[in-house]
A and B are shown apart, each in its own frame.
Chain A
């Protein structure tokens, strides 16, 4: 008993020393590197979708170091922190990595984004939420440090309605929203409600609780109410379950539309051929494997055994590409900041300027090797997203292919909703809005 106790005391002492050790250690960071933290989830219920995204993100950072020797000669340092898609662990990761002077976080979780939105302006760290996060944060007047680049869920909701409207008048039709019961899933509801009044369709809201494997009741309701279209706002195992349940109640996949996080390989592969006809929004890119950037990935990383993904085949999958683009936007923001402040290690505050003055035109997109994967993007104080376009891609049983033209979200519908929401945020938080008309 006595030695046992002694061992326990020793173990406890070691544990405490460990924490303090890390706290001290993290202060030491090379002065000649820009630190980009990587919040990932490679474990937990959402890992199948989190892993390819994380691989793409890390691979791009590695590529910038290996191919270009860093950004303008400054190497990128990075460190992964596992969140498991849990908000409290995400916040802990943020606090842990903060001492390394990071410039930009990309948490890949709407919940964690919400939790960090209040913290980033104080810490002067940019939050890049490419294709997710809080939709009204496009308003840079309120959300100076938050950048929902590539498009928001409100753009997505509007574009989906535009797409189904093309197939015929929506008056009197029914659209069911099957959504993940979290801030992520609820995000499109105000826009869909506004549109249902304008277009005259009936909106049926069907929540699915985390992690989303229990959907029998939801799909029985779908069967009962026979909506003309189902919009799927899911993530992780919820998506593949929805598709399987749709098959079980024989709801036509052709009438199912996922948002861009519900339209990747892990979602359709479990049902594979039976998922044929399932549609999803493509956030610029789909599964592209032959862009110049992918050839660079193969040449500089995978042929040398330096790749992050377990298999080379994963390079170019939908979520891998999205992770890669998220990292690319971070790097380009750093580059833009260096353009103004000098080719040195920039701070989060300077990167905020970079992210707000990002201008990726067609030529720049081509030079980056991602031609065809994204539309030109130009950010400003008033518009932190930079681009509001998406197209639809469809699963043909073995791969994704584009089945629509580009759509742009209708700013006439969205602008008042964004303004109302952002104004209320400012009122709740009791702060003065930044006047974007006075910003250069």
Chain B
């Protein structure tokens, strides 16, 4: 009923191929964007922006990047944290060594660097796949961790190995307040989500998906596995690298290699598994689940007026969070995005299920 498409006729190819062919989806997405850009900056608190929305948006971007690689192209990667680190340190070095460069350019260039490194570590994917590839990308993680911790040039000879980002100045304007930072990140994420959505709908995305589903068959129908796999690594690392640069500059401000250790890679992998492999929406849902839920669980006892000791709250948070992951994966192994799709199907038939 709510999602009924009866009467929505597509008379041109263009209207059939648009991003959201269903009117309700379009209305919802536009409404959501208007809310996110126009209303949110006025009603949100500083805590909401700085501690919840900014990390959520940036990790969503990284999750989209990883989803392109794992969800769409089927190349399992455990090196996401490392590619984020490449983006972060590339942005830092560009900003420090070429101070006149516009920060937007810095972020995009750092994505390019990350993309190059991603392709380099993507070469093994031409020979190996599955768990074996996961282990090969894990090597990237450890190597890059080591590189940034040991080679002093990357940290501008910082004595403690911790580096600090210069002020966020873009076109002569310093993005300082939480609202500005939020809007900056939101703009980045929206543009990149749009790019990702279009890439995955087009020829290149289809070649990724064909490679994922059955690489031999894909090769037979004329898809070059090398181009498909390496382009997936390149695009994925580009997204992840930009996310890393944003994470370092906008969210952390000052960081050490530990901020991008193997735990970050696992966290991102869990995001796309729980959110839904091969889905842009799933990347957002998964990021929300992993970033926001623990914070909510941590604050829930106090908000409900239950007084518990700090360590008890912390333990409950970990237990409930773990249990929820198991429950969600049992209820819907294909992730939260699939849950949403099922919900949409039901709304289409509502109120007369048959």
Contacts and interface: CB of A to CB of B under 8 A. Distances in A.
A22 B339 contact: no
B46 A98 contact: yes
A430 interface: yes
Given A5-B343, A42-B314, A23 B47 contact: yes
A434 B46 CA distance: 28
B259 A186 contact: no
B292 to A, nearest CB: 7
A155 to B, nearest CB: 15
Given A115-B252, A182-B256, A210-B258, A88 B46 contact: no
Interface stretch (A161-169, A271-279, A421-429): A421-429
Interface in A6-46: 8, 15-16, 18-23, 25-27, 40, 42-43
Given A82-B298, A117-B254, A425-B164, A99 B45 contact: yes
Nearest to B165: A118
Interface stretch (A89-97, A336-344, A373-381, A405-413): A89-97
A23 B45 contact: yes
Interface string A74-112: 000000111010011001100110110000000000110
B55 A88 contact: yes
Interface string B70-105: 000000000000000000000000001000000000
Contacts of B45: 23, 27, 99
A291 B325 CA distance: 50
Contact of B46 (A87, A95, A182): A95
Contact of B256 (A4, A114, A119): A114
Given A80-B310, A115-B253, A430-B166, A87 B47 contact: no
Given A8-B339, A122-B176, A19 B295 contact: yes
Given A25-B303, A87-B259, A430-B166, A98 B47 contact: yes
Interface in B25-62: 45-48, 50-52, 55
A119 B167 CA distance: 12
B162 interface: yes
Contacts of A384: none
Contacts of B96: 428
Given A15-B296, A19-B299, A118 B52 contact: no
Given A15-B293, A430-B166, A95 B47 contact: yes
A187 interface: yes
B159 interface: yes
Interface string B283-314: 00000000011011011101110000111011
A42 B314 CA distance: 9
B256 A111 contact: yes
B331 interface: yes
B72 to A, nearest CB: 26
A253 interface: no
Q: Which of B46, B96, B159, B162 has the most CB of A within 10 A?
A: B159
B160 A96 contact: no
Given A87-B259, A96-B51, A114 B254 contact: yes
A187 B149 contact: no
Given A15-B293, A118-B164, A421 B159 contact: yes
A43 B311 CA distance: 6
A19 B310 contact: no
A117 B163 CA distance: 12
A149 to B, nearest CB: 19
A118 B254 contact: yes
A231 B52 CA distance: 40
A19 B314 contact: no
Contacts of B160: 110, 114, 134, 183-184, 186-187
Interface in B208-266: 252-256, 258-259
A415 to B, nearest CB: 15
Interface in A38-79: 40, 42-43, 47, 54
A47 B255 CA distance: 23
Contacts of A269: none
Contacts of B46: 95, 98-99
A54 B311 CA distance: 11
A123 to B, nearest CB: 9
Contacts of A186: 159-161
Contact of B310 (A42, A110, A210): A42
A428 B295 CA distance: 33
Given A99-B46, A134-B160, A430-B166, A84 B314 contact: yes
B201 interface: no
B233 to A, nearest CB: 27
A372 interface: no
Contacts of A328: none
A190 interface: yes
A421 B52 CA distance: 33
B4 interface: no
A189 interface: yes
Nearest to A210: B258
A396 interface: no
B258 A111 contact: yes
A202 B253 CA distance: 35
Contacts of A181: 149
Contacts of B331: 4, 8
Interface of B: 45-48, 50-52, 55, 96, 149, 156, 159-162, 164, 166-167, 176, 252-256, 258-259, 292-293, 295-296, 298-300, 302-304, 309-311, 313-315, 318, 331, 339, 342-343, 346
23 contacts: A15-B292, A15-B300, A16-B296, A19-B48, A19-B292, A25-B303, A43-B311, A43-B318, A81-B310, A82-B310, A87-B255, A87-B259, A92-B295, A98-B46, A99-B47, A111-B258, A114-B160, A114-B164, A115-B255, A117-B254, A119-B253, A122-B176, A428-B164
Given A42-B311, A54-B310, A184-B160, 5 more contacts: A42-B310, A98-B46, A98-B47, A187-B159, A428-B96
